[in-house]
Chain A
């Protein structure tokens, strides 16, 4: 068996060395000079999110936070856990290690109330981002950057209604997610005949097959509303396979979705600008510590909904490809 293994590896190595270079691979970037930082403040700021590992959305939030940290010479400590109890522990860890500021998502306000209060008691400025717009003030956070999911859903619903949508299908790719349900509820305010569909977001083939089944079951569906950019790609496959003429809109952006908007396969995207959420959370903490500022006077600062469609995709596409939008 060992000999077979060696032979196999040798064959693979031989094939590898013979293979010609392929198009479409990595574009090798020139080495960038390390930029001179705007400030060298030396602050330490902790960022805690409920990111489920593997969700491309958080890459962008984090890219924004890291850029802001670099600009201001901040040491950024990022940690995440989708489990509410564990996220609470992470916030408490940050308080215990006496950081200069904490940025955290507040998706499960009640579970996080304790450590957020202990941060406030310890005099550590704390900023909410992405989720928790209803609760951040009550919990004692100083500022909030994010979008209002219900509001974003309503904006999408209004736009769908104005385009003449009769029967949109809202695709929920994560069971029991409050923010996804809120988006669909918002869409349904604009177009009351909106129907929700639950799919298994961790399996592209299953998403495609389920959507295909739904489109076959109900030919009156004229719009598909995907709540995440990767799901939009599956929806395009399902539309092609079932020959449905339904139009597709999505929440959030990634490279494929941006490309599909340019190609006319997706009508528009409702972008909550995650880069800005990360960037502004860190920058506002920096300003709060350095200069005692509070942006928006403590009122929530909305980073969305921002519509991306055929009108402005040319301008936005390069930023998406850069991983910052």
Chain B
């Protein structure tokens, strides 16, 4: 045993090799390379892409996907899935708007109630997964359908139609709008508040994941639940917390959508859960858990925003967008696989 280690250590290349291997061991390296390539590609191909305004529109698009993707990415590092993350965004907005509209009360109350509801849904997701041992894929698929049906059924029962009522005349609309859907001008370009929130949430998540004990727990429960439990990691609490993080971030984007668009279609949000997962996977998160980081997920969302709008900026037929997205996802997974094999070998070599 000792001799093999010595052999490996002695075969480790010099400092240059060490640095490049450390670099390749980072989960976001594949996504970063892809982002740079895609950025340069669209800068060359699409003249309309080369402006501050366009760049910020791309960032806005990325942020509406990226905020929830942070939660989904953390959850996937923790070894679980959440398929209800797309519709919970709509649930959050609908709960706020219809509760306040029906009872005629201040929107702040509805926003807080909606937050409580979303956290409860996240808690139930996590609790059921931990309690029953059924894969989170199935549990949250169930929640996904329940929420999708409840969104439609309750909206129809409350308003008689499948769109939520216009809330722009209600108390608290202005201030909540400032919190969730404000924008400001810098140097002649419009910056949406969600972009700032996205970066802030990402920074916070990076810090928690890399620098705190909670972050270690997340990696531990994703890497191996039983061994994590054996070394004293509070597995149940960590995982339920991750599900609640996803639903909190879903709530946040739901609030943004509501206060930007005033009314919501009850059927919206379906399909976005896969975009969050794509952002996380493109960003280097492993589907099996235990590996990934938040910077990668943020870059994954940025790649999504760039490609979805870059095709439009280039004036190409957007019918092809999904096909392009699929190819990109496959490439990202291949790169990640390759990088992971490099990382594994380097990790072994550095023991």
Contacts and interface: CB of A to CB of B under 8 A. Distances in A.
Determine if chain A interacts with chain B: yes
Interface of A: 1, 8-9, 12, 15-16, 19-26, 52-56, 58-59, 175, 197-200, 202-206, 209-210, 212-214, 216-218, 230, 233-234, 237, 241-242, 254-256, 323
Q: Which of A54, A202, A323: most chain B CB closer than 10 A?
A: A54
A15 B112 contact: yes
B160 interface: yes
B116 interface: yes
A22 B172 contact: yes
Contact of B152 (A22, A53, A218): A53
Q: Which of A16, A21, A22: most chain B CB closer than 10 A?
A: A22
A199 B268 CA distance: 13
Contacts of B60: 205, 209
B182 interface: no
A197 B312 contact: yes
B57 A26 contact: no
Contacts of B160: 59, 323
Contact of B312 (A20, A202, A210, A230): A210
Contacts of A242: 53
Interface stretch (B21-29, B161-169, B201-209, B338-346): B161-169
Q: Which of B101, B309, B317: most chain A CB closer than 10 A?
A: B309
B309 A22 contact: no
Interface string B179-215: 0000000000010000000000000000000000000
B190 A203 contact: no
Given A19-B106, A197-B312, A237-B261, A210 B318 contact: yes
A26 B102 contact: yes
Nearest to A214: B312
B225 interface: no
Given A205-B260, A216-B53, A20 B265 contact: no
B171 A213 contact: no
Contact of B267 (A9, A55, A210, A256): A55
Interface string B131-174: 00000000000000000100110001000111101111111110
B48 A216 contact: yes
A175 B57 CA distance: 23
A18 B317 CA distance: 53
B319 interface: yes
Nearest to B271: A202
A136 B336 CA distance: 53
Nearest to B183: A241
Contacts of B190: 241
A233 B104 contact: no
B321 A198 contact: yes
Given A202-B271, A323-B161, A24 B169 contact: yes
A25 B166 CA distance: 9
Interface string B254-298: 001100111111111111100000000000000000000000000
B54 interface: yes
B9 interface: no
Contacts of A233: 261, 263
Contacts of A206: 61, 64, 308
Nearest to B169: A24
B57 A209 contact: yes
Contact of A24 (B64, B167, B257): B167
Q: Which of B103, B160, B162, B168: most chain A CB closer than 10 A?
A: B162
A153 B182 CA distance: 37
Contacts of A256: 166, 262-263
A12 B169 contact: no
Interface string B307-320: 01100111101110
Given A54-B152, A59-B160, A198-B318, A16 B109 contact: yes
A320 to B, nearest CB: 11
B161 A216 contact: no
Given A25-B104, A54-B268, A255-B166, A216 B313 contact: yes
11 contacts: A22-B105, A24-B173, A25-B105, A53-B148, A56-B265, A204-B268, A216-B51, A217-B48, A217-B313, A237-B260, A256-B166
B107 interface: yes
Given A19-B109, A202-B268, A255-B166, 20 more contacts: A12-B109, A12-B116, A22-B172, A24-B170, A26-B165, A52-B267, A56-B162, A58-B162, A198-B319, A203-B268, A203-B269, A204-B260, A209-B58, A213-B313, A216-B51, A216-B53, A230-B265, A237-B261, A256-B263, A323-B160
Contacts of B308: 206, 209-210
Contacts of B152: 53-54
A321 B40 CA distance: 49
B315 A218 contact: yes
Contacts of B162: 53-56, 58-59
A248 to B, nearest CB: 16
B103 A25 contact: yes
Nearest to A53: B152
Contacts of B269: 202-203
Contact of A254 (B57, B116, B163, B309): B163
